[in-house]
Amino acid sequence: MGKKDNIYKAVTLKDVAAAADVSVITASRALRTPDIVSDKVRERVQQAVDALGYAPNQAARALASATTSTIGVLIPSVTNLVFSDVMRGIYDAVEGTPYQVQLGNTRYTNRKEEELLRVFAAQRPAGLIVSGIDQSQTARALLESFGCPVVQIMDIGPDPIDMMIGFDHREGGRAAVRHLIENGYRRIGFIGARMDPRAQRRLDGYSEVLHAEGLYDERLILTSPQASSVTRGGEMFSDFLGMAPDADAVFCNNDDMALGALFECQRRHIRVPTQFGIMGYNDLDYTAVSNPPISSIRTLRYDMGYRAIEMIIAASKGERPEPAVVDVGYELKARQSTSRKQT
């Protein structure tokens, strides 16, 4: 749902009462002193709260229209270098403005995201930046009720909560696999850890291209719910070779995994790129200086963070950016790790 003309209306207790078909006083009692209302009423009020995303505004009860100068930011990790670059863009963009940033770490869980959104709701932020487009129904209801500009980042989709800036991960996965095929690789695997929705879309792109080319083999896919790292990349690549010894390339869901795969190739004296091709994703700084340099899909992480702040500030002034959905695209960085045809 889009918001126009700087109209950001927060959900109120009156809205909850109407949805639950009770008086405002009864709704208030159900939330503040639930023991004095019936179970049936309490359940109806709680269902309305969950459906509407209502969060009591403890910080501004005396001034219902008050907002702060805080821009809330929700990211899934504070150690992942991808989000470090996003945060650098965000902090650079707020420098010299009246706004300040408050950071929340969702740790890749819907429950934590919902919990943090309720905390932010009580603080009446000037705007919110959230990672991804796969919020739970409760989180989405909360975000739609905030009464402030909201920007979803790192992905794009057809149904923005308010505004959105990102790129198509599925198409990035397609581009990575097409590049490997064009360079002579045929038995192309996929290894991925921490398969969040964005990583899953990369895998979907991988699968679509290989199906179309008649090269798809589900035995060449290895994923894990565990966190990604260089060490895990090496371990998973070793397992991958054990189950697919005839593979000649691998598309990794991020650069950490790709670097781990490269190190394991070197330990096994597998020549990259002539015997084996390695493709990463995100194009972190070290991909260009590894030996050999690793091909990757470059994502504009700093730009997404910086421009998300610009979008919030503009919307707060009644100058909501158009279009509300911005596709910043990606860039395929072809390097030596996939250059079989050039060697």
Span 208-254, pLDDT tens digits: 999 999 999 999 999 999 999 999 999 999 999 999 999 999 999 99
96/311 Cα distance (integer angstroms): 16
Token pair for 245: 């010894």
Inter-axis angle of helices 230-243 and 255-267, nearest 10: 60
Query: 222 — phi, psi (to 5°)?
Result: -135, 120
Summarize pLDDT for 66-105 with one digit per residue, the tens: 568 999 999 999 988 999 999 999 999 999 999 999 999 9
199/193 Cα distance (integer angstroms): 8
pLDDT < 70 regions, the chain: 1-9, 25, 56-67, 342-343
Neighbours of 303 (CB within 10 A): 15
Neighbours of 285 (CB within 10 A): 9
322/150 Cα distance (integer angstroms): 14
- pLDDT recorded at residue 70: 94
- pLDDT recorded at residue 147: 84
249/254 Cα distance (integer angstroms): 15
Say what the pTM is.
Answer: 0.81
Neighbours of 300 (CB within 10 A): 20
Neighbours of 127 (CB within 10 A): 26
Token pair for 335: 């390097």
Contact 277, 249 (CB under 8 A): yes
120: CB partners within 8 A, 6+ apart: 72, 102, 104, 128, 146
- pLDDT recorded at residue 66: 58
Name the amino acid, one letter, at 282.
N
- pLDDT recorded at residue 26: 80
- pLDDT recorded at residue 227: 93
Name the amino acid, one letter, at 285.
D
Token pair for 71: 């821009």
77/54 Cα distance (integer angstroms): 26
- pLDDT recorded at residue 7: 53
SS3 call for 147: coil
Name the amino acid, one letter, at 108.
Y
Q: Can you name the residues that pair with 153 across neighbouring β-strands?
A: 131, 165
